[in-house]
């Protein structure tokens, strides 16, 4: 009787160990699969962003630089407790990566306008102004096909609102103040700064100091004043990104 009980306990212990081994193996397989899916998604995003940028001969490196600016600003905002309650709810890697799709709607803009060698006419600028809305529609189509709601929800916010202005004079919706989602307010500063310090057909690149002054002057007009203060505190880091990826 005692021997039977011992054998039974040994059998149970072996069964528990085997199930533990199987669970560990399954967990490892799931982790590996999740990593593969993440690499695949990031690869698609990088490729798509590269396609967008390759169509616009005037903005080489813009997507990578603005993504870095966003990362620097978000980290500093967390440290300085600026909109940190909202940012704490974010999956930061997903948010930052999704910023690469902010200009996806430019795919729809004709080359004759996108790569025009001088300043746009008023009519041509109206065409350019359609790219946020086109980007939103494209991302919504992706969402219907993939169901990747979190990543694409962030991408949609960057695409939709990066040309809105704090005073309500931006586009496409004329939102004002904190009506503009935080994604849009972050990208507004990143996008404009990068445009200022980059060559364009109608202007030479401004030095960092002049671009910095313009950002400061537009606090409360174009840009969220609280984010401008954060930008001020990290502007040297942002300048270093421009120099590295310029």
Q: Which residues pair with 219 in a beta bridge?
A: 223
Structure tokens at 29: 């397989």
Q: Can you tell me which residue has the tokens 């507004």? A: 188
129-158: string of b/e by CB count within 10 Å (b at 16+)?
Answer: eebbbbbbebbeebbeeeeeeebbebbbbb
Distance (Å, rounded) from C-alpha 233 to C-alpha 73? 9
Residue among 106, 156, 165, 242 flagged as catalytic: 106
- In sequence order, the 6+-apart residues with CB closer than 8 A to the CB of 95 are 70, 74, 154, 183
Distance (Å, rounded) from C-alpha 7 to C-alpha 76? 61
- H helices present in the chain, as ranges: 2-55, 62-80, 84-87, 92-98, 111-114, 122-128, 131-146, 149-161, 182-196, 208-217, 225-245
Distance (Å, rounded) from C-alpha 20 to C-alpha 227? 49
Q: Can you tell me which residue has the tokens 């849009």? A: 184
Contact, 166 vs 176, CB < 8 A?
yes
Q: Is 156 a catalytic residue?
A: no
| Residue positions annotated with a catalytic role | 106
């Amino acid at each position: 009787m005692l021997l039977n009980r011992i054998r039974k306990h040994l059998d149970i212990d072996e069964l528990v160990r085997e199930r533990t081994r199987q669970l560990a193996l399954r967990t490892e397989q799931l982790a590996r699969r999740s990593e593969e899916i993440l690499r695949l998604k990031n690869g698609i995003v990088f490729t798509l962003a590269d396609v967008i940028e390759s169509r616009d001969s005037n903005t080489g490196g813009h997507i990578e630089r603005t993504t870095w600016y966003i990362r620097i600003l978000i980290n500093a905002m967390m440290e300085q407790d600026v909109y940190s309650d909202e940012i704490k709810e974010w999956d930061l890697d997903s948010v930052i990566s999704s910023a690469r799709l902010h200009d996806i709607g430019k795919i729809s803009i004709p080359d004759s306008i996108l790569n025009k060698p001088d300043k746009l006419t008023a009519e041509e600028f109206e065409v350019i102004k359609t790219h946020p809305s086109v980007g939103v529609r494209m991302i919504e189509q992706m969402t219907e096909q993939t169901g990747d709601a979190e990543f694409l929800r962030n991408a949609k916010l960057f695409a939709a609102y990066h040309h809105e202005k704090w005073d309500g004079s931006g586009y496409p919706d004329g939102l004002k103040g904190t009506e503009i989602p935080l994604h849009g307010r972050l990208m507004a500063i990143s996008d404009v700064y990068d445009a200022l310090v980059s060559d364009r057909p109608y202007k030479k690149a401004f030095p960092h100091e002049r671009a910095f002054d313009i950002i400061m002057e537009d606090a409360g007009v174009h840009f969220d004043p609280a984010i401008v203060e954060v930008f001020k505190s990290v502007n040297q880091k942002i300048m270093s990104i421009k120099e590295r990826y310029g």
